[in-house]
Structure 1
């Protein structure tokens, strides 16, 4: 006879006097007592000193009990039952075992039935005695785990009479049925309850609150005076009033240092990013002057640094260029840029006001990683024009067109002077970034490196007059040009309100471009804000952030700014520099304003190669290959979304890559909804726990039962699949049982804990499932349906169809109540 699955073999150690230690090792924290511990095996007393340390004594003492299993080992099970009583003269409850030696010579079934009933009726204890007719079972014993209503048999390695696997299964079923007969008399503590009925309006308002107002925005106003509520309202609209009231010199010092540091980084970046959007350099500086000032008043993030960013600049430039050629229709191009910025702000603010920020979550993290990586490579390739000194360069952004343009200019378009300058300063920037990463205290080195590059390269060109003497070399007749930023208009932002389209066909174009660009900008800003909020352990209100970012871009569009958002590189430097509040954006804005007012003429001699080097250095950080590797390891479908967005951007265009990213994210959602996971459950030994048999291979199926779990809400989109998949599980299990000659299935248990909701189509699918099972003489059992599901099942009278007694709180309870029929048939 083989031992039961997942139990193992307990050796014959009774004759060696080591049964106590053996059981204690098998079942931790158990109290094990054998005959040798009794003062007089013929009486009802026990060795008090031995048990007093464990908290157990005889019936005459007053020592508290401890809540652990007790196992009695004795050649006389009936005698051992009388051993323990509590201080209140009540029988001790726990897990018991009685060992029977070879003197016992009972039929197995009789031993279980008679002895079980006898011990329960006479003594109220859980003792069982097992022997096999004509066999010596010294060392064999049974362990009864009442907490899970299961009885497990441990068989010894002693030689005994011939028995096959069928006999083992019969013995297992007999033991299992005996434990269930005992549990049948236990009262059921709980039934699956129905939630209190709600009125339609109340239910609708509750769902609306959970959907749109999960953060409970009115909580701060509760139990407050009107004057205090007014102040809280102003602080909610203008967070600067809240942190401004607590401002001090220590915070000011941190914000000034951080603001000046990010200003040194943003000035050269803004000039380069404006060129990505095909705008004059000053428009990048305009966007870092007005927009951060507005955000500091309305924004709730302490760490985010506002301004133009590479990806949004490239996306905006690409979309605008499809409508107008910026070299031929300059005025219309700029008007459309301001219009797109205005409606990007309207989109962002509207999402925040309507509390629809969850819509940006449809663009998955994996898709964003791929999109950002592809955009970074595209941006880097675009910089080859300035980096190599190429005059005639393609306006397309896909990698094939760009590389054709680059290699087509090898013999007559590359400029060695430009390349030397570009490579030299790119190495300098990368070295500065490496120093900042290696030593955190030198975080300021990569922050000021771009500004130092601008100053040094501009000074070099100015003193060498490269703009006059490096245009061509007569002897080779080859162009050797260094391209310059040229004149940056001096002065702060002019008004652009009159340039925005509010009618005509260009209005529609501006809205389309603004919505797409605004959503990308919003996604990046909220992700950055949440990242740094988590690092500093404060809460960031996503909806307030959307309103702040939207208002910022609306006002910016009226002041010659283009779309601004949170920059990850600048925000990281802001955080490392020790920023305390959003005032660091104000300091940065003032620094940019002074630059616009006083210093822009100095950029006249700045070579484009330096701007290309700065941008290449900045976008390298957007390629997060470690995140891509992690996505591959965690979720292959996410990796497909990541790579789809990545290759879409670099091989087609930025907007196509974005479309692929969104499409794959939606496809993944649809697959999860329409094809939910349905798993087969099995029982973990010596417990009442039922788990996925693929995750827990040691879990065993219960004879006569098929237990499945649906891991999703059941809706019209997946109800038919759920029904068919469950029937397929059932058919597969029936085939296995038939092949092995085992009892057929009598019950199908559906574990519904993960089923958060169900609609009418889902209920109809359950009704069809019930009909199909009825034809096979199989009963449908539901385990733990949730409140919303239970209410709908009750309203549809499905509970009456299958019977109220077929709905249980747990799978274990369902098996306990239904196993009698299985045992009888077995």
Structure 2
């Protein structure tokens, strides 16, 4: 019976694949395969198909570890103690008091009866702790996602008026579909996908959404009617200003509620600084083609909002409280919540910034605090349902406006963006303006597309740096470390050509100081004709052309061909190398090319395009230096 190797060779021969072929027999389509100068040979055993497949198939241990990773509470529940319980009780009760009014208010944004906000709040906090990798996050209805849901419900009712009396059917179906998508992303551990959304896009999205939501609630706060608050933000603001003469008694209720909310917040913040120590509609969702067709175009925006708001908030509070979250596992938590939630009357829910901040400040110890909050919400659903009818819309509008104020990016944060990268504030303001004049969804897409376009351009235009050497001293206090232990002042100005001693070491920096290094540092250039070139970005197909062109152009500008006057007649020269002008001679003062050292310290992966480009450039420079030999070296330092 033939071996697998024999079968592989036979198949390769049948397909015309030459596994081993002398260099001289190679026929190419114009690309270089081997360098002119033969390098040292290195033979490596080729991986077999069996080895590749075996590496892809999970082991029993791997499967068990994956199952355990889906339920992080297993790793800490056995250590639960009374001190943790006290902290969770305080935080859970506190959030319970906050989530009830906020949940009802956000349900109005989603164009649903207020009780559905409580259903979503209850399901989110009860389920989340099973899958949580964040102790601070609170899942439930949020302003931005509720606004997106409200838009979906409005559009669906316009297209299918039969759902006018049961708008929660649309909201529940949206939650199940989007939750299933997010759950799938989490289960296959693709949580890294959220890293494609930059911070500036998130900031613009949150700020534009906050302005959009607040503007839409002002008419309800003042009792102004007669126009749609679902129009573009700028139209809502204009119509609100036109309608100011039509304000009524609702304005007194709404403005008073808003003033009291800010007064209570100010008082609590002041007290915290002075004393920093703490102290019905359950049913199977209806999902069919008709319902899905009403919001299929809104699914991407809804999924993005589900992801970026929750992951960004949980990562932020993880950094503040010194723990790390698992984005993929958080997606599992969001997905399960939104898939199960609609069976108990819930609509799309995700992490809440304001409630998470309160929960963190209240001293939460573990994710189990969500169970306490769930009990509070459950009591509100069964004991206070009759009272909900008497809550004025103006008061709910005040709650929403007060809550979304925290989402607006502060001027100091925008200034920080500008100091780090001047382009980032431009993207931020474009995102906010687009959101105000169009919709939240278009604002999200705009900032993501612009950020991605800038990333591509930067990658395409990336180039390396030519390095020079300088020796640096290690200083402890006012003494240079070493054998002599002399004060640093006795060393004076250090020159790059001074001798090496025990207290110094060589450092290679870009000669043009474009990396932000001190331009006053005098760098020692390598020996004439020798170049040290560091790749500053990933060496892949978008960036390799620009990077290597910069290398070749600089080498040509600083050296001369080894063989001068290689062409007897001017017409023998190639069109792209016409040489000096008539009656001028070649510049013989420049050195010839001796060696090129490539620094791959910033490169962790290369592709076929970059490999081919490296081969082509090596052949080009080898011909340029012929008959001399160019020494090539590479590595990391």
Please state which band the TM-score falls in when normalised by the shorter chain: 0.7 to 0.9
Gaps of 5+ in 2: 1-38, 471-495, 498-504, 561-584
| Shift in Å, 1:669 | 3.1
Farther off after superposition, 647-656 or 402-411: 402-411
Partner of 1:404: 238
The answer as to 2:429 corresponding to 1:643 is: yes
| Shift in Å, 1:352 | 1.0
| Shift in Å, 1:276 | 1.2
Partner of 2:325: 540
| Shift in Å, 1:700 | 4.3
* Cα pair 1:387 1:418 within 8 Å, conserved: yes
Instruction: Supply the distance in 1 between the matched residues of 2:124 and 2:152 (Cα, whole angstroms).
Output: 22
* Cα pair 1:300 1:544 within 8 Å, conserved: yes
Instruction: Supply the distance in 1 between the matched residues of 2:277 and 2:164 (Cα, whole angstroms).
Output: 38
Q: 1:634 aligns with which of 407, 420, 444?
A: 420
Q: 2:598 aligns with which of 750, 761, 777?
A: 750
Question: Structure 1 residues 810 and 629 mapped into 2: Cα distance closer, same or farther (>3 Å)?
Answer: closer
* Cα pair 2:153 2:167 within 8 Å, conserved: yes
Q: 1:715 aligns with which of 540, 552, 556?
A: 540
Partner of 1:466: none
Deviations 1:457-489 (A, max 9, x none): xxxxxxxxxxxxxxxxxxxxxxxxxxxxxxxxx
Q: How does 1:815-826 map to 2 (within 5 A)?
A: none
Deviations 1:371-416 (A, max 9, x none): 10110111110111111211113243423211221122133x222x
Q: 2:344 aligns with which of 559, 580, 588?
A: 559
Determine helix, strand or coil for the equivalent of 2:158.
coil
Q: 1:301 aligns with which of 123, 131, 134?
A: 134
| Shift in Å, 1:346 | 0.4
Partner of 1:730: 555
Q: How does 1:225-236 map to 2 (within 5 A)?
A: 236=69
Partner of 1:664: 450
Question: Structure 1 residues 391 and 764 mapped into 2: Cα distance closer, same or farther (>3 Å)?
Answer: same
The answer as to 2:272 corresponding to 1:507 is: no
Question: Structure 1 residues 507 and 520 mapped into 2: Cα distance closer, same or farther (>3 Å)?
Answer: same
Q: How does 1:573-652 map to 2 (within 5 A)?
A: 573-625=358-410, 626-652=412-438
Determine helix, strand or coil for the equivalent of 2:329.
helix
Question: Structure 1 residues 268 and 317 mapped into 2: Cα distance closer, same or farther (>3 Å)?
Answer: same
Question: Structure 1 residues 718 and 234 mapped into 2: Cα distance closer, same or farther (>3 Å)?
Answer: closer
* Cα pair 1:348 1:547 within 8 Å, conserved: yes
Deviations 1:211-243 (A, max 9, x none): xx9xx9968x9xxxxxxx7xx887544444544
Partner of 1:92: none
| Larger Rg computed on CA atoms | 1
| Shift in Å, 1:446 | 14
Determine helix, strand or coil for the equivalent of 2:171.
helix
How high is the TM-score relative to the length of structure 1? 0.59
Instruction: Supply the distance in 1 between the matched residues of 2:250 and 2:95 (Cα, whole angstroms).
Output: 28
Deviations 1:605-656 (A, max 9, x none): 3222222221111111111223222111112333333233222211211110
The answer as to 2:151 corresponding to 1:310 is: no
Instruction: Supply the distance in 1 between the matched residues of 2:231 and 2:299 (Cα, whole angstroms).
Output: 20
Determine helix, strand or coil for the equivalent of 2:344.
coil
Partner of 2:213: 379
Partner of 1:6: none
Instruction: Supply the distance in 2 between the matched residues of 1:345 and 1:649 (Cα, whole angstroms).
Output: 25
Question: Structure 1 residues 768 and 590 mapped into 2: Cα distance closer, same or farther (>3 Å)?
Answer: same
* Cα pair 1:645 1:660 within 8 Å, conserved: yes
* Cα pair 2:559 2:590 within 8 Å, conserved: no
Instruction: Supply the distance in 2 between the matched residues of 1:446 and 1:315 (Cα, whole angstroms).
Output: 36
Instruction: Supply the distance in 2 between the matched residues of 1:204 and 1:434 (Cα, whole angstroms).
Output: 62
Partner of 1:773: 621
Partner of 1:690: 508
Determine helix, strand or coil for the equivalent of 1:377.
helix
Question: Structure 1 residues 390 and 688 mapped into 2: Cα distance closer, same or farther (>3 Å)?
Answer: same
* Cα pair 1:675 1:718 within 8 Å, conserved: yes
Gaps of 5+ in 1: 1-190, 222-228, 448-492, 781-801, 812-826
Instruction: Supply the distance in 2 between the matched residues of 1:363 and 1:370 (Cα, whole angstroms).
Output: 12
Instruction: Supply the distance in 2 between the matched residues of 1:244 and 1:714 (Cα, whole angstroms).
Output: 46
Instruction: Supply the distance in 1 between the matched residues of 2:466 and 2:213 (Cα, whole angstroms).
Output: 50
Q: How many residues in Structure 1 have an aligned counterpart in Structure 2?
A: 533
Question: Structure 1 residues 336 and 246 mapped into 2: Cα distance closer, same or farther (>3 Å)?
Answer: same
* Cα pair 2:463 2:543 within 8 Å, conserved: no
Partner of 1:806: 632
